[in-house]
Amino acid sequence: MNSNIQQQHKTQPLVIGIVAGEISGDTLGAGLIQALKKHYPDARFVGICGEQMIAQGGESWFPLERLSVMGLVEVLGRIKELFAIRDELVQRFIEQKIDVFIGIDAPDFNLRVAPQLKQAGIKTVHYVSPSVWAWRQGRIHGIKAAIDLMLCLLPFEKQFYDQHQLEAVFVGHPLADSLPLVNDTQQSRQKLALDPHKTYIALLPGSRGGEVSRLGEPLFDAAKQLLAQNPQIEFIIPAINALRKQQINQLLDQAQLKAHVFDNSYGAGVGRLVMSAANIVVLASGTATLEAMLLKKPMVVVYKLHWLTYWIVRLLSKARYISLPNLLANKALVPELVQNEATANNIAQATQDWLNDTVKTKQVIHTFTELHQQLQADGSATAALAISRLIAR
């Protein structure tokens, strides 16, 4: 089939519309572009791309950072700009006569672009299922109207779409393919010039300014409490850009806490590198919890939103857990400290529990390894094949 598809488009290269809304989507998009080029070597990829996608040949019409906003309430301040970007994207995609549109995550944005394109006769794909199975399940009707194909990273997501008669493919997670089953902590420490024998705790207050503002203070206050009990430990923190590094350093100064802060001069995967080098990870809920799991790191997950956003989410939520390790296992493998529970005292205690309980740590690492194996499905290649079959129909 692949050779036939290539022959079909040999004289007229495909134009593929693709939109990523944050760093994790950029990583997925880069792998997908690379895999799709094996089907369509001459294809153009246009839309909104991050640095990794651009390096693979993606053409970005807007900076990815313009879509990177978190929370229902927080979006309101940017709504006019986001609508303008959406409208211009739709217009340019239709003018360029794209063959397919691929929205990568960012569902609140991409699932508003997709229906207009589908109405214009363009095939639509969404890569990374929104957590419709967890909250606001009524969205499934709008998703069915907007999307021809859903690409699911997690096995239980496909089961949900099958129940609602929406074509979905479980592609696994590309991170599970790219990361080894056994993490090399010492190699990561060597790259960061860290002591091979010390105990390091990674603190990840998030990649967005709002997240860092909310979580930086309780995380750093917890770190001071841990340091009082364990003077030998040290803290390592990734900063995805110069702006986040400046913000983190300011918060560290306010907390009077010393830590090693590593910026993106270590590469786009600085967060992963820092987590890989750590003994324990304390982090904001999100995709990073999956990375920490795949790196086999005991973790404490912290989740804190604007109070009104959180109230709305809690009202509409159906899920028992917020972190991906717990969702995948369907049990509480790792502690989750949500909203008012995300205090310095609670964070310090949950982290200290990992330091004290080596038996539990070994058990969790074993379970993480089993979950890692379940997610290995050659994600980028499987996603590209599913998209090629949709295009060929």
DSSP string, 181-193: SS--HHHHHHHTT
How far apart, in whole angstroms, are the C-alpha atoms of residue 185 and residue 205? 21
Same domain assignment for residues 388 and 366: no
Same domain assignment for residues 134 and 280: no
Same domain assignment for residues 142 and 81: yes
Same domain assignment for residues 228 and 292: yes
How far apart, in whole angstroms, are the C-alpha atoms of residue 288 and residue 296? 12
Write down the pLDDT at residue 386. Answer: 97
Tens-binned pLDDT, residue by residue, of the chain (393 aa): 454 444 444 468 999 999 998 888 998 999 999 999 999 999 999 999 999 999 999 999 999 887 765 444 455 566 888 889 999 999 999 999 999 999 999 898 999 999 999 999 999 999 999 877 655 667 899 999 999 999 999 888 998 899 999 999 999 988 898 899 999 999 999 999 999 999 999 999 988 888 898 899 999 999 999 999 999 999 999 998 899 999 999 999 999 999 999 998 887 689 999 999 999 999 998 889 999 999 999 999 998 866 566 665 665 556 677 888 998 998 999 999 988 899 999 999 999 999 999 999 999 999 999 999 999 999 999 999 999 999 998
Same domain assignment for residues 159 and 201: no
Alpha helices (runs of H) in the chain, residue ranges in sequence order:
2-8, 23-39, 51-55, 72-76, 79-96, 107-119, 139-146, 155-163, 174-178, 185-191, 209-229, 242-255, 270-277, 287-294, 307-316, 324-329, 344-356, 358-374, 379-392
Write down the pLDDT at residue 306. Answer: 62
Write down the pLDDT at residue 68. Answer: 67
Write down the pLDDT at residue 319. Answer: 64
Q: In what order do the strands lie in the sheet with 234-238?
A: 260-262, 234-238, 200-204, 280-284, 299-303, 336-338
* Structural domain boundaries, residue 166: 2-172+377-392
Write down the pLDDT at residue 136. Answer: 60
Write down the pLDDT at residue 71. Answer: 45
Write down the pLDDT at residue 172. Answer: 93
Same domain assignment for residues 165 and 247: no
- 177 domain-assigned: no
Q: What is the pTM of this model?
A: 0.73
How far apart, in whole angstroms, are the C-alpha atoms of residue 117 and residue 156? 28
Same domain assignment for residues 107 and 33: yes
Instruction: Dig out the tokens for 254 from the structure.
Output: 């306010």
How far apart, in whole angstroms, are the C-alpha atoms of residue 16 and residue 349? 49
Report the number of distinct structural domains present in the chain. 2
Q: What is the CATH number of the domain that holds 325?
A: 3.40.50.2000
- 179 domain-assigned: no
Same domain assignment for residues 219 and 358: yes
Q: List residues bridging with 17 in a β-sheet.
A: 46, 101
How far apart, in whole angstroms, are the C-alpha atoms of residue 155 and residue 17? 26
Same domain assignment for residues 90 and 197: no
Write down the pLDDT at residue 310. Answer: 62
Same domain assignment for residues 191 and 296: yes
Helix (H, G, I), strand (E, B) or coil at 179: coil
Instruction: Dig out the tokens for 185 from the structure.
Output: 């902590």
Same domain assignment for residues 78 and 204: no
- Is residue 164 within 8 A of residue 144, CB to CB? The reply is yes
- DSSP symbol at 64: G
